[in-house]
Structure 1
Amino acid sequence: MFTQTSTVTRRSDATHRHDLDGLRGVAIALVVGFHIWMGRVSGGVDIFLVLSGFFFTGMLLRRVDASDRVAVWQTLRRTARRLLPTLMVVHAAVIAGTVFARPYTQWGDISAQTLASVFYYQNWYLAHAELSYAAADPSVSPLQHLWSMAIQGQFYLAMALLAGAWAWLSRGRGPGPRRVSLLLVITALGAVSFWYAAQGSGRHQAWNYYDSGARAWELLVGAALAVALPWIRLSMPIRVLAAALGAVAVLSCGLLIDGADVFPGPAALFPVGAAVALILAGAGLGPGEQPWPNRLLASRACVELGNLAYALYLWHWPLLIFYLVENGKATPGPGGGLLILACSVILAVLTQRMVESPLRARANSDVKTEGSPRYRRAVGVTVVVTGVAVLAGAVGWQMMLRANPAHPPQALDALSYPGAATLLGDSVEQKAAAMRPTVFEAEADAPAPTYDGCITPNREVRVCTYGDPDAARAIAVVGGSHSEHWLPAFEMLGSEHGFRVVTYLKEGCPLTLSDQPSYAEFPFPECREWTEEVLDRLAETRPEWVFAPGTRYRMHADGDEVPPEFLDIWTALSDRGLRVLAIRDTPRLRRDGIMYRAIDCLAHRGTPFSCGVERTTALDPQNPAEQPASAYPNVFPFDLSDSICRPDRCRVVEGNILIYRDEHHLTASYSRSLAPELGRQLGALTQWW
């Protein structure tokens, strides 16, 4: 994607495609601009992936034509020497910024992502983080953008091995038949990848976006072009039309399509097709013979921007994230965006001239390059030391965390840790005590299903029993993690009052009969399929009550609401003769629409009060479920917000117990402190005690 041809080895190569250098420059400008000011995907990365497949495969073919082999190790080593120095410099800056400017509770995630990006599996790290409620939100990571670098690196390795095997197996055959065989393999692999991406886009887009298998077809399109280009002949009118349409598509893609919702599914044919059109339009022609869009892309401004593409891509995202986090904003605005852009360009220029160019220069080159041989050696040593320091720091912090794993508190003294009891109106004596769980214990202070596998990450319906397993009566706790985090309180009540707590839980999946609910960012038909099976099982087992959230926060405004999809579920449960305990969902920590973790705020000089949220920001004055529930005789809404929030503010610590383990999930410790009030309200509704 970002592999750049050496200034030294390419200036005299008349066949070099300067227009594609310019295309890379325009694409990176779109990526940066859309990230900074529009907060959406421009399609530029998809264009990069096509160019990456085209350039890298073309280089492999030239080596096979010249020497009848690929020299896999040497190829990968040279590629690493081009990519790793700048990457290590940026990593060092991100680590330094994290240590000095961010709370220490984020160091573990940043060190893990550092290793993931250096070893080119960052896309898989982020894919798992998207599915894991125990993981930090990847959208606020200064290293999130390196997922595309990981996919590029994985492709380089796979393509080098494939080309090496092809060169060995096809020895002795003519160049034409050899290329045909490689083209057939690449086309078949690309078709499978495209089918897989199309399937994933409709089933689980959050995973699909980062999936190497789903992204492979974009790179393989470029690879197939590199193989087939000698056989493609286009007339000039067709070239001009292709170039014009391609240029328009490149510039308009981000405005017409938000790629985060649909790429790399079939919608990605739009940017991929644009790149293909521009590659074909200028193929085999001299700079002065190419269609006018290609000549514009070959202009000095675009080419120079293309030379900065790699460094600019690496720098802009960390600067954007640090700026937004430090200022508590969702967008930087015009002035902040210009500042980020200016700093990104300056750092990219400095990195390109002081690190990239000197290290890419060959010692025996007769072309003038940046710096003397002594300077190049000094830069090389500095980069190596920097890389070792980055890896040592990341590995060391991960080893420290693994040697000292967090153990959540199991039973807290009620006198020292009354928790929710301090909010219920009765005078509660509270001893002075340190907050528990601590900021390091919080993420591990999760309910039992997180650890025993009773909340499923996939399509499987898992049924588990807690409380009194031998009791005749049962309450089914159903839905996603916002049902799950009440389980510690339910376990205590089930054992005390003699009822089974039967769980039907799936990560990120409140019950829904829609493939894409109004509150979901991506299509998630797997959740709908899971819900349908759960409803059937509930109809068969017939628990006395079904417990599920009855409200949800408004995504783009203050307060909470009842999404229309919840009403569909109430109707489905009513049709099956099941009674519903619809609890008001817990308030979420957010400022100006931005979620934040309680532990990060507390570790960053915050207090229980300052790290909290105004009640009017988190919750409507009245429970939104009361009015719609009046039309459903089987639905009984209830509200424990007064056990979490004070009249004016929802703090993050009450009764010496930390309420939140992240942005919106209760700690198991605080959930247990809610058992008395939950029991009081359940007793009144169920008449069981």
Structure 2
Amino acid sequence: AVERHRTAQLEARAELNNPGARVLEPGYEFTGDENAPTLPRPEELADYHADLGSKCPSDIDIDSSVRKYCTEVLGNDDAEKTVLVLGNSHAQQWIPAIKTYAQDHNWRVIAYVGQGCFYTEASQQPKTQPHCAGWFEHSEHLLTSNDFDTVFLQGTFASVESERVNENLTSAIRRLTGRGTTVVGIRDNPRFKEGLTQCALTLGRDDPQCTQVPPAVRQDDPQKALADGIDGYVTVDMTSFICPGGSCHPVIGNVYVFADTNHLSAPYGESLIDAFGDQLTEALS
């Protein structure tokens, strides 16, 4: 009971004490408690998977063998658009931002998420994730048999050393846009050999070893040329809010930025909702 009460107090004060990426907005002034605990608490770091909503609706045409990967994030009988979030956990982490934007724009949101899978080609699915072969195999049927106005997917693939656009993904994007579907490529977030948050918990958040500059952060979004060349393909790049000024810090706005070596923490992802929405509005305009 004490622990639940403490958690409730931290959450109630989080908007003031733990603004996260909101501190990067022009003119932001911190008015919270400078001694407030940094969120998420260490024991909550692993809880970064965004809520995928309810089971797949009956009107979505999808093979029964992979229906378990389909969910309805936001239902809306009078939706102006139906959009799909397609990919793995790196697409899933943007669902809170996409859902908020969808609520404001009268959209319905469906997700098709396979943990550890890549929307590229069959041969590139991780051998350690045997379910990905079926997930990918039936993705094309899902896309061609349902009328999705917009598809959100992971547009680049980052590693510790580099970041690239996959050629097979480029072909898939052309197929989608050729059918009149708008595709939003979300730039992948940086990845690290060792977690910055874990470093901060061990050495302290201000230790210089816990701030890194991955090679991918030094370059422009690799999707730019692709977006310039494909009508209907637009991009969202949140790198400047994840690693502002080209450096990746363990803590921004009293929030741990990363949950592990390659995922954003849930509170930091939620603090990016407004910035994500602004970029999406600009991209779709």
- State if a TM-score over 0.5 links the two structures: yes
- Distance change in 2, residues 1:610/1:447 (3 Å): farther
One-letter amino acid of the counterpart of residue 464, structure 1: T
One-letter amino acid of the counterpart of residue 486, structure 1: W
Shift of 1:530: 1.9
C-alpha contact (below 8 Å) 2:82/2:150 kept by paired residues: yes
Partner of 1:571: 174
- Distance change in 2, residues 1:598/1:523 (3 Å): closer
Per-residue CA deviation, residues 616-675 of structure 1 (Å, 9 max, x unaligned), is 434242111111333322211221111111213111211111111111111221111111
Shift of 1:473: 1.4
Structure 1: how far apart are the matches of 2:221 and 2:196?
24
Structure 2: how far apart are the matches of 1:429 and 1:497?
30
Which runs of 5 or more structure 2 residues have no equivalent in the other structure?
A: 57-64
Shift of 1:579: 1.6
Partner of 1:631: 229
C-alpha contact (below 8 Å) 1:516/1:524 kept by paired residues: no
- Of the three residues 118, 121, 126, the one matched with 1:513 is 121
Partner of 1:24: none
- Distance change in 2, residues 1:534/1:514 (3 Å): closer
Partner of 1:601: 199
Per-residue CA deviation, residues 39-81 of structure 1 (Å, 9 max, x unaligned), is xxxxxxxxxxxxxxxxxxxxxxxxxxxxxxxxxxxxxxxxxxx
Partner of 2:185: 582
If the length of structure 1 is used for normalisation, what is the TM-score? 0.36
Shift of 1:411: 6.0
Secondary structure of residue in 1 paired with 2:153: strand
Shift of 1:442: 1.3
- Distance change in 2, residues 1:453/1:509 (3 Å): farther
If the length of structure 2 is used for normalisation, what is the TM-score? 0.82
Partner of 1:469: 76
Secondary structure of residue in 2 paired with 1:567: helix
- Distance change in 2, residues 1:575/1:525 (3 Å): farther
Larger radius of gyration: 1
Per-residue CA deviation, residues 339-361 of structure 1 (Å, 9 max, x unaligned), is xxxxxxxxxxxxxxxxxxxxxxx
One-letter amino acid of the counterpart of residue 460, structure 1: V
Per-residue CA deviation, residues 372-418 of structure 1 (Å, 9 max, x unaligned), is xxxxxxxxxxxxxxxxxxxxxxxxxxxxxxxx899797665322222
Secondary structure of residue in 2 paired with 1:614: coil
Shift of 1:485: 0.7
How many residues of Structure 1 are paired with residues of Structure 2 in the alignment? Answer: 269
Q: 5 Å matches for 1:89-238?
A: none
Partner of 1:419: 20
Bigger helix share? 1
C-alpha contact (below 8 Å) 2:159/2:190 kept by paired residues: no
Structure 2: how far apart are the matches of 1:453 and 1:604?
40
Per-residue CA deviation, residues 283-302 of structure 1 (Å, 9 max, x unaligned), is xxxxxxxxxxxxxxxxxxxx
C-alpha contact (below 8 Å) 1:492/1:672 kept by paired residues: no
One-letter amino acid of the counterpart of residue 158, structure 2: Y
2:50 counterpart of 1:447? yes
Q: 5 Å matches for 1:615-654?
A: 615-654=213-252
C-alpha contact (below 8 Å) 1:479/1:510 kept by paired residues: yes
Partner of 1:665: 263
- Distance change in 2, residues 1:631/1:618 (3 Å): closer
C-alpha contact (below 8 Å) 1:609/1:651 kept by paired residues: no
Secondary structure of residue in 2 paired with 1:619: helix
Which runs of 5 or more structure 1 residues have no equivalent in the other structure?
A: 1-403
Shift of 1:430: 4.4
Q: 5 Å matches for 1:366-445?
A: 413-431=14-32, 432=34, 433-445=36-48
C-alpha contact (below 8 Å) 1:407/1:444 kept by paired residues: no
Structure 2: how far apart are the matches of 1:446 and 1:412?
22
Structure 2: how far apart are the matches of 1:609 and 1:634?
44
Shift of 1:568: 2.9
Secondary structure of residue in 2 paired with 1:628: helix
Structure 2: how far apart are the matches of 1:579 and 1:410?
36
C-alpha contact (below 8 Å) 1:515/1:524 kept by paired residues: no
- Of the three residues 126, 132, 136, the one matched with 1:527 is 132
Secondary structure of residue in 2 paired with 1:650: coil
Structure 1: how far apart are the matches of 2:212 and 2:155?
21
Partner of 2:91: 483
- Distance change in 2, residues 1:411/1:681 (3 Å): farther
C-alpha contact (below 8 Å) 2:187/2:221 kept by paired residues: yes
C-alpha contact (below 8 Å) 1:465/1:503 kept by paired residues: yes
Shift of 1:480: 0.3
- Distance change in 2, residues 1:656/1:502 (3 Å): same
Higher relative CO (Cα under 8 Å, sequence separation at least 6) belongs to: 2
Structure 2: how far apart are the matches of 1:665 and 1:527?
19
One-letter amino acid of the counterpart of residue 621, structure 1: Q
C-alpha contact (below 8 Å) 1:421/1:428 kept by paired residues: no
Query: Percent identity between the aligned chains?
Result: 25
Structure 2: how far apart are the matches of 1:581 and 1:553?
17
Structure 1: how far apart are the matches of 2:21 and 2:54?
26
Shift of 1:685: 2.5
- Distance change in 2, residues 1:499/1:544 (3 Å): same
- Distance change in 2, residues 1:645/1:683 (3 Å): same
C-alpha contact (below 8 Å) 1:467/1:491 kept by paired residues: yes
Q: 5 Å matches for 1:331-342?
A: none
- Distance change in 2, residues 1:452/1:514 (3 Å): same
Shift of 1:445: 4.1
Structure 2: how far apart are the matches of 1:452 and 1:602?
36
Partner of 1:681: 279
Shift of 1:423: 1.9
